Amino acid sequence: MERRELVRRAIEFQHPPRLPFWQHWNHKLPEFPDDVCNIWEMDRAQAGWFFDRPGPDDWGCGWSTTELKNIGQVTDCPLSDWSALDGYRPPDPRNPFYYERLEPLLDEAGDRYVALTAHSLLFSRLHKLRGFTQTLEDFYLEPEKTGRVLDMIVEFKVQQCAELHRRFGERIDALFVADDWGTQEQTFVGPNILRDFFAPRYKTIFEAIHACGWHVILHSCGRINAFVPTFLELGVDVLNMQQSRSYGLVEFGEQFRGQVCFLATVDIQTTLPRGDEREIREEARQLVRHWSTPAGGMIAFDYGAWDAVGVQPEAPRIMFDEFARLSRFWSSQQEGAHGPSGPLDRCS
């Protein structure tokens, strides 16, 4: 079976023969499957990568980075003063620069599933433009201006989808987008803000992605449990969850498995940095047991930027090794190979 089809079946709960693996584009572990071609070129600014060259991106957001190479953060917001709004213009979503480098990368995909990453979606781009604290205040103090900025972002994303589809069509399988919505304890805002400002706009973007025949893959950090039902209602196909323990590992999976595919990793903030092999393997087993189903619904994920989060190289290798051991667990269960005392019965 082609790797592309394998991943599609996992996402759509059509009984993939094994667990698919998503390896980071610059951090390959050759002893494990490599089922996804993840292309990051949509995030490159014309001035260069924001994490290589601190400075403004194409939206005018000024980035700062640390000596340790990581994604950095925006420290200069072009709309920090609302007086700049009337004269502000977003980048051209049809600029050939964003697309001309994709052709050879798509050629390299082979039979792998192709996901294009374009990180900042709505909330993330909004607070990069305006400033985080100001954004949270603006929902109450400046809702009209906030809506104008969000609509500007939506228009960019919809046109970006149209241009990608015009150029590459079925050679793409998914868009990977990101909005970090929570702290370790709860979401930054209540469900009323999600409903009033974001839900209809997310729906517009997700419908544009689906109209191209692609899956919607949404990354969001933090304890976002309260927002997940809305994300599913709006059409998210895959949720990328990297802080497994902050959601409540068992109860979160039991509540949502079977409703969405999880692009899942052992917790990047606690379990993997501690580096305890037994703990890593146990959590990988719990993820397979509680987040996946016999029909699919899970992809093993490698975060990749391990230096930035204090993870030693051996930890993700241990994680993938355990995922590989369990990659055919559900088919084996159906065949009766493990019976009542199979490997996942060691999980709590």
CATH number, domain of 27, equals: 3.20.20.210
Give the residue among 74, 214, 187, 185 at the shortest CA–CA distance from 131: 74
For the chain, the domain total comes to 1
CB 262 within 8 A of CB 288: no
Question: What was the pLDDT predicted at 68?
Answer: 66
Residue 82: half-sphere exposure toward Cβ, Cα within 13 Å: 12
Question: What was the pLDDT predicted at 275?
Answer: 95
CA 226, CA 123: separation in Å to the nearest integer? 16
Environment class of 177 (CB within 10 Å of its CB; exposed 0-12, middle 13-18, buried 19+): buried
Tokens of 185: 């304890």
CB 21 within 8 A of CB 29: no
Question: What was the pLDDT predicted at 348?
Answer: 31
Q: What are phi and psi of 30, to 5 degrees?
A: -65, -20
Question: What was the pLDDT predicted at 341?
Answer: 36
Question: What was the pLDDT predicted at 43?
Answer: 82
pLDDT truncated to tens, each residue of the chain (348 aa)? Answer: 999 999 999 999 999 999 999 998 778 899 999 999 999 888 888 776 666 666 788 999 988 877 666 677 899 999 999 999 999 999 999 999 999 989 999 999 999 999 999 989 999 999 999 999 999 999 999 999 999 999 999 999 999 999 999 999 999 999 999 999 999 899 999 999 999 999 999 999 999 999 999 999 999 999 999 999 999 999 999 999 898 898 988 999 989 999 999 999 999 999 999 999 999 999 999 999 999 999 999 999 998 888 878 899 899 999 999 999 999 877 766 555 443 334 444 333
* DSSP reduced 3-state for 160: helix
Residue 193: give the domain boundaries. 3-346
Output the pTM of the full model: 0.93
Question: What was the pLDDT predicted at 53?
Answer: 65
Residue type, 331: S
Question: What was the pLDDT predicted at 333?
Answer: 64
Q: Maximum CA pair distance of the chain?
A: 67
Q: What angle do CA 19, 30, 334 make, to 5 degrees?
A: 20
Tokens of 83: 């007086």
Residue at token pair 């980071």: 24
